[in-house]
Amino acid sequence: MFIEVGAGASGVGKLRPRPRNYRFWTAREAACSLVVVLLFSAPASAVAGGTVESPRAVLIIDESDPGSGAPTTFSTTLRMTLNQATPRVGVYGETFDLGRFAGPRQGEFLRRYLQAKYRDISFGAIAAVGLSAFNLVKSWRPELWHNVPVVFAGIDELSASQLTLDPGVTGLVMHRTINSMVSVARLLVPDLKGLAVLGGTLERDPYRRQYIDDLPKLANELQLSNLTGLPLAEQENRAATLPTKTAILYTALFVDDAGTAYSSLDSLAAIAKVANRPIVVDADSLIGLGATGGYVLNSVSYGKQIARLLLQILDGANVAAIPVATAEFTKPVFDWRQLTRWNISEAALPEGSEIRFREPTAWQQYRMQILVALCALLIQSAIVWGLLIERHHRQAAEQLSRDRLADIVRLNQIATVETMASSIAHELKQPLSAILSNAEAAQLLLNAEPPDIAQARETIADILTADRRADEIITHLRQLLKKKPEIEYTVFDVNEVAESALHILSFDANKKGVLLKTEPAPEPLPVRADPIHIRQVLLNLGVNAIDAMMSYPPDKRRLVIRTAPVGESEVMVSVFDTGPGFLEDRAQNLFDPFVTTKDQGSGLGLSIARTIVEAYGGKIWAENRPEGGAVFRFTLGLARPT
């Protein structure tokens, strides 16, 4: 088969199969075509007539198919490493796909092509990738690159053992055996019984020829099915129906026994779709296409090592001092998705295995979102905790305030009792004196002859009435002085509290000639508070009113307590007096502590009254009456029925 040679944009020659109906060229046509090729494929400097003298130039001749995966990765790494070297290296490359285009005629045509293209370039080293490429370079070297050092790569141990190396030739032999694939297969399939070897014709595989000698040995240990070289469709069918305790070894399907060319990567993907057993591979580029994994060739490390050998030679190293070496650029690599598919534990893999395509955890996928959420949660927790602490402190402060309020009210109650002490004593003296007089009279009536029983009964009834009167006075006094541990919120009728306050005030009012009167609302006025506190407010306002009226004649001293609803939500209590009122400029600070108009007043009564009323959400204020005197009013919330 003839081939056409063309130059791409990069100046690298491409080989295309000649159509079957293409006629044979004449010598004249071939010569003309060669001239065209030389004009378009030669470097720009050569076409322009210049000569490139670069002792640090390298020519890479690669036999592999550019789309075959691993060789492409190797060549890319090799060229990139050389291009990054300092001093700069001129890198030239040719890829000939010798697996499909080979033979004496092709070799001769390629020799003339290379001779014409690179006639003006002096190379410091030649790199031959693959056994076929090395054999061509070896045959071309005396004529094209006499005494130029050659570094080979991509040659297996079996092929390398059969080589005859000329002076100035070195390289790095690949150590890659099928036994490494079998060892992985035994890990993936416990109690392994059989192997199915898939791929292309091994005799045409430049990197796995040593497998030809290894397979017969495996047949002595395991049930071996060598399917290499079969058409892809047949390999797919066989891979789908393999027995249990079997593993698949996939080499590389570049070309089958019939000469049909394939993409090794696409072939593996097609086989993996139908395979019923795990697939072991030996090339890094095959991971991710359905293979489970294996000891794979690290093409990147291999490419870098060959580049280092070339740079040593360009830097003046003696090639004879660089012996041919064998190295195993393999590492265990596995596909997490396939491990999951075949239920293979990571603990069964070789130590130091690299796991690819692992599904990221929630932390790996959403690390930032999780951190933000955790920060937000911590901030919210801190805020909630702070609010709880603040609530606790506020409740403690409110309780302390209620305790202080109760203490103030009690002290005010004691002060009120002290103010009315003489009146209380006078009120108690009256029923006690009546009890004493009636008791003496009853004694006389019972000692008379005959005893006046009827009169004695009446006298005793008077004694009981006086006793109840004294008990009532003492009961009111005890209520006034009672100390409670905390405020008791109860629902009560304001009218009843107003009546009881007026009754307590009556002791002092009778003595001072003040007429007391209540004007309760016709209906009950329930409020929710402590009745002792509300009674104390009325007592404070009443005592102030009585004291304010002492400069007036007794017939003009009147005190009225009135209760009434305000709208549908409040109750208003008013205390009227007929005293002189208060100066208007004192209205603003009338309820401030220690503000008083009395000579012996403490100035706390009205202040305490305001504190109590506001503690229950009410308001208190004072006004002068047009007809004389003052009125003190306060409001409380009406208790809603439950």
The predicted-structure confidence for 196-206, as pLDDT tens digits, reads as follows 999 999 888 77
Domain that holds residue 235: 178-298+330-363
In a domain, 467, yes or no: no
Q: How confident is the model at residue 297 (pLDDT cuts 50, 70, 90)?
A: confident
| Same domain, residue pair 224 and 344 | yes
pLDDT tens across 31-71, in order?
444 443 444 444 433 333 343 444 799 999 988 766 554 46
pLDDT tens across 221-274, in order?
899 999 999 999 999 999 999 999 999 999 998 889 998 988 889 999 999 999
Residue 228: give its domain's CATH number: 3.40.50.2300
In a domain, 427, yes or no: no
In a domain, 428, yes or no: no
Q: Please give the mean pLDDT across all residues of the chain.
A: 82
In a domain, 437, yes or no: no
| Same domain, residue pair 274 and 291 | yes
| Same domain, residue pair 195 and 258 | yes
pLDDT tens across 263-279, in order?
889 999 999 999 999 99
The last residue of a domain, from among 174, 198, 221? 174
| Same domain, residue pair 232 and 253 | yes
Residue 124: give its domain's CATH number: 3.40.50
| Same domain, residue pair 217 and 124 | no
In a domain, 449, yes or no: no
Q: How confident is the model at residue 5 (pLDDT cuts 50, 70, 90)?
A: very low
Q: 302-328 burial, b for 16+ CB within 10 Å, e for fewer?
A: bbbbbbebbbbbbeeeebeebeeeeee
Mean pLDDT of 188-198: 95
Split into its structural domains, the chain has a count of 3
In a domain, 522, yes or no: yes
| Same domain, residue pair 167 and 183 | no
Residue 541: give its domain's CATH number: 3.30.565.10
Residues with Cβ within 8 Å of residue 64, at least 6 apart in sequence: 71, 72, 75, 95, 97, 99, 129, 130, 154, 206
| Same domain, residue pair 245 and 105 | no
The last residue of a domain, from among 135, 155, 174? 174
CA distances for 377 relative to 372, 373, 382, angstroms = 8, 6, 8
pLDDT tens across 360-370, in order?
877 877 888 88
| Same domain, residue pair 135 and 189 | no
Q: What is the predicted pLDDT for the residue at 597? A: 58
Q: How confident is the model at residue 11 (pLDDT cuts 50, 70, 90)?
A: very low
| Same domain, residue pair 57 and 199 | no
Q: Which of 170-184, 334-348, 458-472 has the highest mean pLDDT?
A: 334-348
Higher-pLDDT residue of 492 and 438 is 492
pLDDT tens across 118-164, in order?
999 999 999 999 888 999 999 999 999 999 999 999 888 888 888 88
Cα angle 627-628-629, degrees, rounded to a multiple of 5? 135
Higher-pLDDT residue of 205 and 636 is 636
Model pTM above 0.75 = no
Percent of the chain with pLDDT over 90: 42
In a domain, 455, yes or no: no
Report residue 186 as tokens: 């035994």
pLDDT tens across 538-561, in order?
988 998 899 889 888 888 899 999
Q: Say which range, 422-431, 496-505, 562-571, has the weakest mean pLDDT.
A: 422-431
Mean pLDDT of 621-636: 92
In a domain, 21, yes or no: yes
Nearest alpha-carbon partner for 438 in 453, 467, 459, 417: 459
The last residue of a domain, from among 320, 339, 363? 363
| Same domain, residue pair 29 and 150 | yes
Q: Say which range, 91-95, 113-117, 462-466, has the weakest mean pLDDT.
A: 462-466
| Same domain, residue pair 155 and 182 | no
C-beta contacts of 587-591 below 8 A and 24+ residues apart: 587/622, 590/622, 591/620, 591/622
Q: What does the H/E/C string look like for 337-376?
A: HHHHHCCCCHHHCCCCCEEECCCCCHHHHCHHHHHHHHHH
Q: Which of 178-182, 430-434, 598-602 has the highest mean pLDDT?
A: 178-182
Q: What is the predicted pLDDT for the residue at 96? A: 84
| Same domain, residue pair 196 and 294 | yes
Higher-pLDDT residue of 342 and 214 is 342
Mean pLDDT of 584-601: 65
Distance in angstroms between the alpha carbons of the first and the last residue of the chain: 107
